[in-house]
Amino acid sequence: MINIVLFGKPGAGKGTQAEFLKEKYNLTHLSTGDIFRYNMKNNTALGLEAKVYIDRGDLVPDSITIGMLQDEVDRNPHSAGFLFDGFPRTLTQADALDQFLASKGQGITATIALEADDEILVKRLLERGKTSGRVDDQDEEKIRNRYQEYNEKTAPLMDYYKNQDKFYAVNGIGTIAEITERLSNVIENL
C-alpha cells in the first residue's frame, strides 16, 4: 500500500496532478476540497459548518476536516492506497492522520509539495475563479489570506515530514506533463 500526501498552496496544481497520479498508481484520491464542496452542495451539517470558514478564506477546523476524511478512508477499505490532496494542513491533522492510519496498520509513504511563486498562483486562482464559480477564487484578498493561513499552519508540516524522511519538494511550474513527470520520478524512487 502506498499513501501519498500531496500538498502546496491553493492553485499549485494539486487537483490537476492528483487526477494523473491516481490513475497511474491506482490510488484513491481524497481531496478535502472536493469532500467539503460535496458536503456543502448537499447541505450536510458538516458542509454547512465548513462553508462558513471557507467563505471567509479560513481553514476549516480540524475536528470537521478529520471526521470527513476518516469517513472517506473507511468507505474505501479495498483501496491500493490513498492520495491525500489538501490534507493534512496542520501539525494536529498530521498527527491525527498518522494515528488513524496506524490504527489500520498503515502509514504515510511520502509527502510531496508542489512549490510555486505566490504571484503566479494568485493569477492562476483568479483565472480559475472566472469559470469555477468558487467564491474563494474570485477575491484576491481572500486568496492572500489563504496563503497566510498556509504559511502559518501548513508550512510547519515540511519539518514534520522531513524529520520522518518522508518529504519531497517538486517544482510546480511548467507544463502539466513536466510536473507529472517530476512527481512520478519521486514516487517511483520511494
| Number of folded domains that form the chain | 1
- Dihedral over Cα of 6, 4, 17, 60: its sign: negative
- Annotated catalytic residue: which of 37, 123, 134, 153? 134
Is residue 110 predicted with pLDDT exceeding 90?
yes
Would you say residue 39 has pLDDT above 90? Answer: no
Residue 144 designated active-site: no
Catalytic residue status for 134? yes
For residue 77, the Cα-to-chain-centroid distance in whole angstroms is: 21
Predicted confidence at residue 100, as pLDDT, reads 94
Q: What percent of the chain has pLDDT over 90?
A: 53
- Determine the pLDDT at residue 36: 80
CATH code for the domain in which residue 82 is found? 3.40.50.300
Q: Verify whether residue 37 is a known catalytic residue.
A: no
Our answer to whether residue 146 is catalytic in this structure is yes
pLDDT score at 132? 84
Residue 124 bears catalytic tag? no
Residue 75 is predicted with a pLDDT of: 86
Position 91 pLDDT exceeds 80: yes
CB neighbour list of residue 153: distance below 8 Å, 6 or more residues apart: 59, 89, 90
Instruction: Identify the active-site residue in 9, 14, 22, 182.
Output: 14
Q: Which three cell numbers stand for residue 171?
A: 517544482
pLDDT band at 189 (very low <50, low <70, confident <90, very high): very high
Provide mean pLDDT across the span 121-126: 91
Q: What is the pLDDT of residues 1-30, one digit of tens each?
A: 899 999 888 889 988 999 999 999 999 999
Q: How far apart are CA 98 and CA 111, in angstroms?
A: 12
Task: Tell me how far CA of residue 155 lies from CA of 41, 79, 92, 180, in angstroms.
Answer: 29, 29, 13, 22
- Using the predicted structure, report yes or no on whether residue 33 has a pLDDT greater than 80: no
Q: From the candidates 9, 146, 166, 182, which is the catalytic residue?
A: 146
DSSP, residue by residue, 95-127:
HHHHHHHHTTT----EEEEEE--HHHHHHHHHH
pLDDT tens digits for range 128-176: 888 888 888 888 998 998 888 888 888 789 999 999 999 999 999 999 9
pLDDT for residue 155: 79
Q: What mean pLDDT do residues 70-84 have?
A: 91
